[in-house]
């Protein structure tokens, strides 16, 4: 029986581990998924895909180890890396089905505009402006708490928090801003006397920022949390929710929940138990429906995307707000237990299952 290959393009670091004879846990999960869907996975690196060459070099499991082999170009390729235009054109000319071609990038303001085009999704967007001193003045006149964040970037870098000192202090503001990774500084100022602080002016001049109304986040043990929810296409070709987890800030005084900034991840069910006014099943169902609506909307602005990781804020009433999305989400290499392990495993099985769906379509059409 002819082998049916699926190409899996790995980040360079993980590919290097295979080269050193180390089978990284994510690779083993993809391998298990490949066997489940009757594929032979070929673990490739981006530069191994050469336009004009009808074969690829990659690692294939042989017994208990992975060995480097040269095989014909797989009919289906799952990529976790960004292909060049020449590589994309070559694969398209060869009628290769490859997915995760192109997302939307990391421009948060552009993403806000795209989602705003669907009226049903507008209630789940915090008020957002493209940063300028004029826009900042406008937002400060409307809201007591604001978040200033780079329009492009991730991992929570460069985010600042601006809050009014009190209801009776209309012109008095408090600013919290980063000075190093996980290090913050604070200052207070009076708008009519001091004007906008230089740290904000410099940030706006260096790179594009957005200004958002700060959502009063729900808390867990007095620490604010938000949510990471992953949507993927599976073996049916449809979008499914692959997992939900909470990112909890390192302290009650911290407003950034990113793991890289000292936050921690927790099971959502565990966090919900601390909020009896939020029914677990209903809350999770509402979030899942919102996630799928967003994925279905964004697929019209992307090129054959099969993975999207969404970050949501949940306010104190349980209403969700979109924060940002990532088309190259990191699923970690930690051995979870129980339900979290099953969710982690699904994030590796779904994309390979989607590859089987595409492969079967190719066979049916040939």
In the chain, what percentage of residues exceed pLDDT 70? 89
DSSP state at residue 80: S
* pLDDT, greater one: 28 or 22: 28
* Cα 339 to Cα 268: distance, rounded to the nearest angstrom: 11
Confidence at residue 76, expressed as pLDDT on a 0 to 100 scale: 97
Give pLDDT tens digits for 325-341.
Answer: 988 766 665 556 667 77
Selected from 3.20.20.70, 3.40.640.10, 3.40.50.20, 3.40.50.620, the CATH number assigned to the domain covering 5-100 reads 3.40.50.20
105 versus 170: the higher-pLDDT residue is: 105
Residue 305: its pLDDT value, please? 92
Q: What is the pLDDT of residue 268?
A: 84
Decide: 344 and 336 in contact? Cβ < 8 Å: yes
pLDDT value at residue 34: 97
**What is the pLDDT, as a whole number, of residue 37?**
97
pLDDT per residue as tens digits for the range 215-231: 888 888 888 888 899 99
Closest by CA position to 215, among listed 311, 104, 109? 311
Q: Is pLDDT above 70 for 19?
A: yes
Burial of residue 302, with CB atoms counted within 10 A of its CB: 0-12 exposed, 13-18 middle, 19 or more buried:
middle
Two tokens, residue 32: 């298990």
- Yes or no: domain 217-355 corresponds to CATH 3.20.20.70: no
What phi, psi does 77 have (nearest 5°)? -135, 130
Cβ(314)–Cβ(297) below 8 Å = no
Q: pTM of the entire structure?
A: 0.88
């Amino acid at each position: 029986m002819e082998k049916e290959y699926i190409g899996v393009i790995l980040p360079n670091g993980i590919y290097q581990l295979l080269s050193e004879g180390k089978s990284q846990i994510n690779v083993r999960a993809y391998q298990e998924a490949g066997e489940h869907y009757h594929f032979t996975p070929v673990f490739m690196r981006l530069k191994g895909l050469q336009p004009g060459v009808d074969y690829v070099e990659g690692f294939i499991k042989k017994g208990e180890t992975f060995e480097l082999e040269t095989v014909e170009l797989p009919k289906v390729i799952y990529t976790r890396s960004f292909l060049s235009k020449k590589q994309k054109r070559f694969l398209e000319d060869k009628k290769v089905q490859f997915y995760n071609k192109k997302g939307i990038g990391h421009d948060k303001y552009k993403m806000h505009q795209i989602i705003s085009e669907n009226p049903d999704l507008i209630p789940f967007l915090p008020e957002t402006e493209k940063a300028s001193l004029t826009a900042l003045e406008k937002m400060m006149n409307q809201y007591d708490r604001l978040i200033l964040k780079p329009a492009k970037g991730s991992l929570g870098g460069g985010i600042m928090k601006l809050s009014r000192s009190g209801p009776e202090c209309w012109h008095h503001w408090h600013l919290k801003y980063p000075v190093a990774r996980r290090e913050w500084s604070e200052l207070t100022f009076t708008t009519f006397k001091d004007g906008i602080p230089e740290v904000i002016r410099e940030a706006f001049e260096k790179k594009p920022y957005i200004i958002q109304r700060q959502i009063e986040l729900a808390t867990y043990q007095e620490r604010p949390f938000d949510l990471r929810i992953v949507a993927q296409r599976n073996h049916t070709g449809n979008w499914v929710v692959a997992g939900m987890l909470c990112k909890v800030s390192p302290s009650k005084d911290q407003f950034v929940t990113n793991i890289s900034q000292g936050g921690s991840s927790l099971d959502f069910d565990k966090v919900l138990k601390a909020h009896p006014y939020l029914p677990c099943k209903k809350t999770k169902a509402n979030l899942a429906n919102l996630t799928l609506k967003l994925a279905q909307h964004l697929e019209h602005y992307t090129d054959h995307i099969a993975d999207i990781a969404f970050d949501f804020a949940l306010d104190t009433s349980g209403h969700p707000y979109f924060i940002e999305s990532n088309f190259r989400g990191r699923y970690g290499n930690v051995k979870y237990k129980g339900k979290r392990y099953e969710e982690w495993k699904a994030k590796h099985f779904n994309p390979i299952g989607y590859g089987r769906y595409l492969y079967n379509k190719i066979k049916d059409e040939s």
